[in-house]
Structure 1
Amino acid sequence: MDASSDSVSSFITRCPALPPLGFGAAAIGNLYQPVDDTVAHAAVTAAVAAGIRYIDTAPHYGFGLSESRLGAVLADLDPAEDLLLSTKVGRVLVPISGDGQGGRHGFAAAAPYEPVFDYSYDGVMRSYTESRRRLGRDRIDLLLAHDLGTATHGDAHGHHFRQFLDGGYRAMRDLRDEGAVGAIGLGVNEWQVCLEALGHAEFDVVLLAGRYTLLEQTALDTFFPACEARGIKVIIGGPYNSGILVNGTRGATPLHYNYEPAPPAIVDHVRRLEALCDRFGVPLAAAALQFPLAHPAVVSVIPGMADGGQVAQTQALMNVAIPPGLWQALRADGLLHPAAPTPSSPSSAGKVA
C-alpha cells in the first residue's frame, strides 16, 4: 500500500476550511474531573454563541460521554449540522459491569464502557456508526484514526499499525469516497507515526496533540515540511500540554504534562517561560495558545474547554496583544526552535480570531 510519489503529488486535500479556534471536547468527557451535564451543555452553548464553529471529540473521551453530551446539545443548537465536527476511530467501547463511576484512563465518573483498541475494517466501521449515533449526525466532517504510535502502544505498535493499514484505513477511505465523512486523517500524540503513515497512505489532515507547543517544536524539522509538501492540514490539540501551560507553576492545581504529573525538568522549563512572559506582561496561556497558529501548515488550535468561563477566557487569550519582543526573547533564551514562525500581531496574518 506504499504511496507513490505520483499519487502523493496529485493528492488534493478534502479537509474543510477550519476556523483558527476550535473546541476540544475531552474536558466535557470528564477528563481528570467530573463535569455536570448542565455545565458541559453550557460550555458548548457558550462556544457556539461565541462563534466557534469547529468541535473535536472522540469515543475515548469519557467512553462515549463527550459524544453523547455533544449530540444532546447540538440537536438544539445545530439541527442543520452547519458546525464542523471531528471524531475518531481506533477504539470500540465494550460494556462493563457496574456504573463505571471510578476514574479510568484519566476520565472521572465516565460511562460504563471499556475502550478497546481495534483498527480493523469492521472495528472502524463499528466505531464510526456508534459515534454517529451518539452525536446524532448524518455525516462526520473529519474522521481521524486515534492514538496510533509507540507512545500509546509500545511494542504492540507494529501489530496495530499493520491492522490499520490493512483494514481501518480502507474503511476510512470507503467512508470518505461514499461521502459519509468529509475528510480523513490521524489524531495522535506523536508526529513520528505520522511520517511513518505517510509512507503508506494518503490523508487530508492530522490532529497533533501536545507536540507543537511552547514546550517543544521538534515537529518543525521533518513533520511540518512533509505536511506542506503534501497539502496536509494540521490541527494542534493540547496547546497547553495537558494544562501546565495554562495554569503555570504557581497555582494550587496539580501540574499536568502529557496527561500525567509534570516531571521536574518540564516544571523548570515552564518557569523560564513564565519569567519571560512576566517581563513582557503577557499571560503564559496567551502565548501558548497563539504560538502554533503562526505556522503556515497549522489551520486550527483546539484547547479543551470545560465550562462557559473557560470559553470566555480562551476567547480573551486569543486576542491578547503579544509584543514581538517576547518571541525574540524566547528565541534568544533557547526556548524556541530557531526556525519556529511566530505571530507578528494578535491577528497572526489573519489567523487568530
Structure 2
Amino acid sequence: MRPRQPDLPRLGFGAAALGNLYTPVSDETAQAAVDAALAAGLDYFDTAPHYGFGLSESRLGDLLPNSARISTKVGRRLEPIDAPADAVRHGFAGAAPFEPVFDYSYDGVMATFEASLARLGRERVDVLLAHDLGRMTHGDAHPAQLKAFLEGGYRAMVELREAGLVGAIGLGVNEWQVCLEAAAHADFDVFLLAGRYTLLEQSALDSFLPTCVAKGVSVIAGGPFNSGILVEDAASGAPLHYNYEPAPKEIVERVARLRAVCRDHGVALPAAALRFPLAHPAVISVVPGLASAAQVNQALDWLDAPIPAAFWRDLRQAGLLHAEAPAPEDERPA
C-alpha cells in the first residue's frame, strides 16, 4: 500500500497544555493562544482524548474553524469516575472526572474516535494516531497491547481512513522501536515521534528514519524541546526537565555543551531545536507544546531565525550531532 502523506505545515501546535497539562490554563488564555496561531497561519493542531480527559479536544472544537487541520489519537477509553474538580491526575490539573483506560481493540478505537469527533465538532480528522504503544508505557504488557492493536484497532483505523473519516493513520508514541515493530506487520502513513529525534537525542537515525524514507512514511517530530530542557532557562536555578522528569546529570552536561556552541554563534538554543528535525527528508512537521499566545509567537520567531552553517558544522565537530544527521541550510526557511 502506498502511504498517504498528510498535508501539514512545517510547524504544528501541540495542544496537550490546553488540557491543563501540569497547570491550569484559563479559557481566555487558550483562546488567545489559538487565535494567535490562526492569525499567523499556523493551522495544524495535535491533540488527544488523554489531554485533560477530553478538555483539549473540547477547547479546540470550540475555537477552531473547520479549515484547521487536526490530528488526534485513539487507544484510551475515558471512563467516568468520582474525582475532585481540583485534582491533578496523570499530570493534568483540574481534569474532567474521567479515568483513561487503555483499549486498542476494534470496538474501543471506533468508540473513542466517535467521542473525539463529538468533542471536536467535526465529521473527520486529518490524522488519526494510535497513542502510546510501546514498552516505555506498557512494560511487560507491551506484547499483549500491540497484539490487541494489530488484530483490532488497526483494522478500525484502516476502515475509518477508507470511509474518508480520517486522512492518514499511524502511531503517536515516545519510542521509535515500536514503530518499526508495528510496521513489520501493518502499513502506516505517518508516525508522530515525540522526543526521540531532537537536537539532544538522535538514535532514531540508526534505523527508524532510514526505514521511513525507504517506505515513504512521513514523520511528525513531537517534543522538540525534550519536555523542557532545550527551552528552559538554565541560569534561573529552577530544575531542568527531560522526559517529563528532572534531567539526569549527563543530559544536563550535554545540553550545557549545546548552549556553549549556541553562544559562540549567537543562536538561541530553542531556535536550533525547532529547526533541526525539519532538515531530515522524512520529517514533515515539528510540533512543540504551546500554552499561550506568547509561546506561539516565540515559536514562530524561533522557526524563522537565521542560523549559520558554521553552527551546525561546529556541533558536528563537537560530537553533538549524529554523523548521519542532515543539518538545515544557513538561510531563512521558505
TM-score bracket for the superposition, by shorter chain length: over 0.9
Q: Deviations over 1:220-250 (max 9, x none)?
A: 1110111111110100000000011011422
Q: Find the counterpart in structure 1 of residue 306 from structure 2.
A: 321
What's the offset of the Cα at 1:101? 2.3
Is 2:25 the counterpart of 1:32?
no
Structure 1 segment 10-89 matched on structure 2, within 5 A: 11-74=1-64, 78=65, 81-89=66-74
- C-alpha distance in 2 between matches for 1:263 and 1:126: 40
Aligned residues: 334
- Alignment match, 2:163: 178
Q: What does residue 232 of structure 2 align with? A: 247
- Indicate conservation of the 8 Å contact 1:249/1:270, yes or no: no
Which range is displaced more, 313-322 or 245-254? 245-254
Of 66, 74, 91, which residue of structure 1 is paired with 2:76? 91
1:274 Cα offset (Å): 0.8
Separation (CA, whole Å) in 2 of partners of 1:345 and 1:142: 32
Distance 1:29 1:269 in 2: 31
Tell me how far apart the structure 2 counterparts of residues 95 and 180 of structure 1 sit (CA, whole Å): 26
Residue 248 to residue 265, structure 1, CA distance change in 2 (3 Å): farther
SS at 1:329's partner residue? helix
Q: Secondary structure at the match of 1:92?
A: strand
Alignment of structure 1 residues 1-353 onto 2, 5 Å: 11-74=1-64, 78=65, 81-348=66-333, 350=334
1: CA distance between counterparts of 2:248 and 2:99?
Answer: 29
Whether the aligned pair in 1 keeps the contact of 2:305 and 2:332 (CA below 8 Å) is no
Q: After TM superposition, what 4+ stretches of structure 1 lie above 6 angstroms from structure 2? A: none
Whole-angstrom CA distance in 2 between matches of 1:252 and 1:92: 39
Could you tell me which runs of 5 or more consecutive residues in structure 1 were left unpaired when the two chains were aligned.
1-10
1:335 and 1:266 map into 2 onto residues whose CA distance is: 12
Q: Percent identity?
A: 63
Preserved contact between residue 44 and residue 69 of structure 2 (Cα < 8 Å):
yes
> Secondary structure in 2 aligned to 1:110?
coil
What is the TM-score normalised by the length of structure 2? 0.98
Q: Partner amino acid for 1:260?
A: E
How far 1:327 moved relative to its partner?
Answer: 0.7
User: What root-mean-square deviation, in Å, do the aligned CA atoms of Structure 1 and Structure 2 show?
Assistant: 1.1
1:254 shift after superposition:
3.4
d(CA) in 2 for partners of 1:63 and 1:253? 29
| Cα distance per residue 1:90-116 (max 9 Å; x no partner) | 001111103342112122221111111
Find the residue that maps to 1:33 and give its secondary structure.
coil
Structure 1 residue 57: deviation in Å? 0.3
CA distance in 1, matches of 2:297, 2:150: 41
Structure 2 Cα separation of the partners of residues 250 and 154 of structure 1: 36
CA distance in 1 between counterparts of 2:80 and 2:154 reads: 25
Contact 1:319 1:346 in 2 (8 A): no
- The CA deviation at 1:214 is 0.8
1:252 Cα deviation from its structure 2 partner: 4.6
Question: How many angstroms apart in 2 are the aligned matches of 1:204 and 1:242?
Answer: 25
Aligned-residue offset at 1:346? 3.9
Q: Residue by residue, what CA displacement relative to the aligned partner does 1:185-228 show, whole Å, maximum 9, x if unpaired?
A: 01000000000011000000000000000111111111011111
d(CA) in 1 for partners of 2:332, 2:106: 42
Paired amino acid for 1:171: A
